[in-house]
Chains A and B, each alone.
Chain A
Amino acid sequence: MKKITESEEITVALAGAPNVGKSTIFNLLTGLSQHVGNWPGKTVEHKTGVFRRDGLTMNIIDLPGTYSLTANSVEEQIARDYLVHENPNVVVAVLNAASLERNLYLVAELIELAPRLVIALNMLDVAEQQGLKIDYEALSRTLNIPVVPIVARANRGLRELITQIEQECGTAAGLRNVKHIEYGSEITDVIDHVDRLLDDGITGLYPKHWTAMKLLEGDEQINKMIRTRMPAERWPALDSYLKEHESAAVTIATLRYEWVERMMAVAQQKRRVGQVSLTERIDRVATHPVLGLFMLIAILGVMYWLVFSIGVPIQKFLDINLIERARDFIYTLSYLPQWLQGFLADGVLSGAGTVLTFIPILFFFFAAWAFLEDTGYTSRAAFVTDRFMHALGLHGKSCLPLVLGFGCNVPAIFGTRIIDSPRARLLTILLTPLVPCTGRMAVIAIIAAAFFGSAAVLISIGMIILSLLIMAIVGLILTRFVIRGKSSALIMELPLYHVPDLKLIGMVTWQNILAFIKRAGTVILAVSVLVWLLSIIPNGNINDSILADIGKFLEPVGRLMGLNWQMMVALLSSFVAKENTIATLGVMLSGSSGDFTQQLKAILTPAAAVAFLVVQVLFIPCVATIAAIRQETGGWKWPALILVFQLVLSFAIAITVYQVFSLFQGM
């Protein structure tokens, strides 16, 4: 055995299905050394970190959670491409002992790609609670793969895991006599035949035999790769052979599960006892079509209550005490040139600074989201809402992100990561900006209150209903006519509930907030400075500025909905942050007499006021949301489309509303 010398550096990949505690292990090993980014060109999280012990440096990669290595999803594709192309020194398969049967399927696939494999058998405590007894030593002997029992939540067994990884790393890969699955002569002949049809070198770094198997399993990515690399005249022969043996995919999976069952027979000493588990008891309510909905509403109620009773006051406090005071302070610094005062106070602070005060609110949303994800509740929520989402051509997993959108569209956009089908995910991202967020609702509430007095609540609720209706219609149109393709069927595991890992939730929340701060420091800052510049050029007065010119340029459109150029400018300024509408109006109307209500009534008819609320609630999303969409769709194409689309949509509907209301007024 090779001794691990000093300054030895190895790469270790963590592989495993979702909900096996992989992230907890990753966090325990890497702590704050971790770096979170995206896989190149993908919107799947790429997490790396370093673990050091006794001169050994371990670069740890947390592969995306996957059930298999057939490219059914981006995650699976990333995981197996990483294994093939980067060839990590050791692959640690993290398995959940409480659902070993499901998890061993991945091992069956890993065996074929990872020369050095160590199994971390997690959640043995949970398994024992369920009356399961697992003989991990027997499993290890049968598989000829080291199996280390761990309880990641309690930080047990990780030391042994590290030692085992070190040891495994010292063994020559060729010496490991891991037993591959025997697929039986019938199917092996078919695989061999496909293998022979492939030229050497055509499969790149993918093992040839493995590639043959994936072709038979109907792996589209591999299929495409071979089709493009193979001489065109040879493809039809392979293609027709594959079509002829279409059932091979089922046979291979069946044989793998038979292998899993044999392994289970070895590993499982005691079967699950028939008692009703806690998960089952909770699920009787949580997945019930009626009770489950009430539960969902109650949970969301608590979440929003937390946000509004703690998050919003903090945000207000920060806005008044930090941003406002800092602005006042800057204006007292008389030795600064005036333009710099303006830049800092009106450009940086009221733009990007105001956006940053939303961090307490975002904190609650991100934390609540991570909490629901970690306990296993999100999939239940998806289950009970599935039937409603079908009307929009979406499935249950789209519901929670959209609901989150009522709080803030930004975490909602990130929340769409739980949706595995790319098409459904894109659709959800496109619909999210149509969900009225707290920022928009604040503007609606203030203007409605100022203009309509006691009817404000009704008007506000009307706006919510309107935007949801529009969202449903847009969803229908998008799924039927624009982004066509088969609506992906809902199929997801409902993991066992478990006590949430607070450290993990803290880590996830922190990483999300950090990313938000980064964006506030870049894109959002840039846009807010730009809007500020437009509002002071050329002579420092907003009423003569370029922004005003743009407003005046848009006035003909504004007229159609009863809005003058000042209202248009206020609307445009909401691009930085939705709340800015009120501030901008305040500045622009400051010259006229009376209080805010009187000022508003002076420039708006009731019909125009309604139209303004409509256009405000449907208007283009704020910069933070656009930046989030750009990040999640990997380009400017979709954000640009959303900008144009919502601009047209909001104007069109507001104009219609104004014209209809004016008719009634005239009568």
Chain B
Amino acid sequence: MESERIEEYLEAIYKRQGREAPVSTSSLAADLGVSQPAVTDMLRTLENKGLIDYKSRMGASLTRTGEERALLVIRRHRLWERFLTDVLGMKWDKVHKEACRLEHATSPDIEKGLSSILGNVDTCPHGHAIPDDKGNIKQGENRPLSAFRPPVKVRILSVDNEDPKLLRAMEKLGLRPGAIISVIKKSRDGSLEIEFQDTKLTLDTATASFLTAEQLPEVSFTTDECEISLGELNSGESGVIKNFGGGRGSLGRCLSLGFTPGSIIKMVENYRRGPVLVRVHDTDVAIGRQLAEKISVVRTGSS
């Protein structure tokens, strides 16, 4: 039991280290669901074993040995998760708990067996990299989804949350690591409007921060999405501004009136001839037909 707890701690410290270093007792207490004094006790034990450096006010950081041990546990955890989903066909929202128990009872031989049965896997079902048997882990360019500036096309890399409810919801939508989505708009409260497999969805702020993603080249966005000129938007339809074909002269005026890429634009009136009337940043703006033809938008729907 002792070693199991040690491993749980090392794992927790390792995961925390990505965000804060050294890791404070309070965040560990929160992550592991135990009291702060209990954490302090345990950290002392770990320090005596040479697994961490611990300074009472500052917090803990893993030593080289500690990190190796942590990565080993993480490797076993993620391999188990893979095994449970891929081989046993379990749902991905259930495997974390199981893996948490199994990881501590795994001998090097079982680990090797798992690895060879799974073949060449490098991530767990939630998209996190699996450390190799030498304790090396691939550091990807993972950025939280909330950090991207719409409109952008991204590939989901991982889900940094084990909440079964969230995972089940994502499963239902087919939103898994590897999924390619378009982030259309970020609203004031931080929630994201996204498009995935031709359906529009809204992700709340919390979800957007759990998901990490990498940006895909612009090109694929424009070929997949149907980019049209503003003049082609029908009355009542909305779109997202992509870019300008207009010259420098009208550009400045457009920008100061809020025609910035990523802005939501609503066509108020388009009679197919003459100027169009649009609403952008809460104001009605009239644009001449010629200029409207030079602004490209992606249609997002009608209201």
Contacts of A253 in B (CB 8 A): 255-256, 260
Contact: A395 with B189, CB < 8 Å? no
A68–B251 alpha-carbon span in the complex (Å): 13
Q: A392 to nearest B CB, angstroms?
A: 14
Contacts of B244 in A (CB 8 A): 250
Known contacts A67-B257, A249-B251, A253-B255, A491 near B274 by CB under 8 Å: no
Map CB proximity to B onto A256-300 as digits: 1 under 8 Å, 0 otherwise.
011011001100100010000001000100011100000000000
Contact: A257 with B258, CB < 8 Å? yes
Contact: A491 with B257, CB < 8 Å? yes
A89–B194 alpha-carbon span in the complex (Å): 47
Contacts of A99 in B (CB 8 A): 282-283
Q: B119 to nearest A CB, angstroms?
A: 40
A73–B253 alpha-carbon span in the complex (Å): 9
Q: A420's closest neighbor in chain B, by CB?
A: B253
Q: A543 to nearest B CB, angstroms?
A: 56
A493 at the interface (CB under 8 A from B): yes
Contact: B188 with A265, CB < 8 Å? yes
Stretch at the interface among A46-54, A381-389, A439-447, A467-475: A381-389
B57 at the interface (CB under 8 A from A): no
Contacts of A254 in B (CB 8 A): 149, 260-262
Stretch at the interface among B26-34, B154-162, B287-295: B287-295
CB < 8 Å neighbour of B256 from A68, A390, A490: A68
A546 at the interface (CB under 8 A from B): no
Q: A224 to nearest B CB, angstroms?
A: 13
CB < 8 Å neighbour of A490 from B149, B255, B275: B275
A492 at the interface (CB under 8 A from B): yes
Contacts of A250 in B (CB 8 A): 243-244, 251, 255, 260-261
B62 at the interface (CB under 8 A from A): no
Contact: A72 with B256, CB < 8 Å? yes
A303–B256 alpha-carbon span in the complex (Å): 35
A517 at the interface (CB under 8 A from B): no
A279–B275 alpha-carbon span in the complex (Å): 19
A68–B281 alpha-carbon span in the complex (Å): 15
Number of A residues with CB within 8 Å of any CB on chain B? 49
Map CB proximity to B onto A375-404 as digits: 1 under 8 Å, 0 otherwise.
000010011101100100001100000000
CB < 8 Å neighbour of A272 from B188, B269, B282, B285: B282
The A-B contact count (CB < 8 A) is 131
Known contacts A72-B256, A218-B251, A102 near B282 by CB under 8 Å: yes
A195 at the interface (CB under 8 A from B): no
Q: A396's closest neighbor in chain B, by CB?
A: B275
B252 at the interface (CB under 8 A from A): yes
Contacts of A384 in B (CB 8 A): 274
Known contacts A250-B261, A261-B188, A492 near B250 by CB under 8 Å: no
Contact: B248 with A491, CB < 8 Å? no
Known contacts A491-B257, A492-B286, A287 near B277 by CB under 8 Å: yes
Contact: B283 with A379, CB < 8 Å? no
Contacts of A68 in B (CB 8 A): 252, 255-256
Contact: A67 with B277, CB < 8 Å? no
A488 at the interface (CB under 8 A from B): yes
A224–B133 alpha-carbon span in the complex (Å): 63
Contacts of A289 in B (CB 8 A): 271, 273-274
A494 at the interface (CB under 8 A from B): yes
CB < 8 Å neighbour of B248 from A218, A260, A390: A218
A5–B274 alpha-carbon span in the complex (Å): 59
Map CB proximity to A onto B131-150 as digits: 1 under 8 Å, 0 otherwise.
00000000000000000010
Contact: A70 with B261, CB < 8 Å? no
CB < 8 Å neighbour of A287 from B248, B269, B289: B269
User: Which chain A residues in 568-620 approach chain B with CB under 8 Å?
Assistant: none
Q: Point out which of A73, A384, A390, A489 has the most chain B C-beta atoms below 10 A from its C-beta.
A: A489
Known contacts A257-B281, A382-B286, A490-B287, A387 near B274 by CB under 8 Å: yes
Contacts of B275 in A (CB 8 A): 383, 386-387, 396, 490
B108 at the interface (CB under 8 A from A): no
Contact: B251 with A491, CB < 8 Å? no
Contacts of B263 in A (CB 8 A): 257
Contact: B274 with A494, CB < 8 Å? no
A67–B263 alpha-carbon span in the complex (Å): 17
A555 at the interface (CB under 8 A from B): no
Q: A402 to nearest B CB, angstroms?
A: 17
Contact: A493 with B273, CB < 8 Å? no
A67–B273 alpha-carbon span in the complex (Å): 27
A62 at the interface (CB under 8 A from B): no
Contacts of B248 in A (CB 8 A): 218, 220
Contact: B252 with A249, CB < 8 Å? yes
Q: B216 to nearest A CB, angstroms?
A: 19
User: Which chain A residues in 491-523 approach chain B with CB under 8 Å?
Assistant: 491-495
B249 at the interface (CB under 8 A from A): yes
Known contacts A254-B260, A383-B275, A396-B275, A72 near B252 by CB under 8 Å: yes
B301 at the interface (CB under 8 A from A): no
Known contacts A99-B283, A494-B284, A488 near B251 by CB under 8 Å: no
Known contacts A253-B260, A287-B269, A383-B286, A491 near B281 by CB under 8 Å: no
A658 at the interface (CB under 8 A from B): no
Contacts of B189 in A (CB 8 A): 265
Q: B195 to nearest A CB, angstroms?
A: 20
Contact: A490 with B288, CB < 8 Å? yes
A594–B141 alpha-carbon span in the complex (Å): 101
A258–B269 alpha-carbon span in the complex (Å): 26
Q: B280's closest neighbor in chain A, by CB?
A: A102
Query: What are 20 A-B contacts defined by CB distance under 8 Å?
Result: A67-B256, A68-B252, A70-B252, A99-B283, A101-B258, A218-B252, A219-B252, A249-B251, A249-B255, A253-B255, A254-B262, A260-B281, A264-B188, A289-B271, A387-B274, A486-B247, A486-B249, A491-B254, A492-B285, A494-B285
Other than the given A99-B282, A220-B248, A492-B285, 11 more pairs (CB < 8 A) read A68-B256, A72-B253, A72-B256, A253-B260, A264-B188, A272-B282, A283-B269, A383-B275, A386-B288, A491-B288, A491-B291
Binding site for B on A (CB under 8 A): 67-68, 70, 72-73, 99-102, 105, 217-220, 249-250, 253-254, 257-258, 260-261, 264-265, 268, 272, 279, 283, 287-289, 379, 382-384, 386-387, 390, 395-396, 486, 488-495
User: Which 9 residue pairs spanning A and B have beta carbons closest together?
Assistant: A490-B288, A68-B256, A387-B274, A489-B291, A253-B255, A494-B284, A254-B260, A265-B188, A72-B252
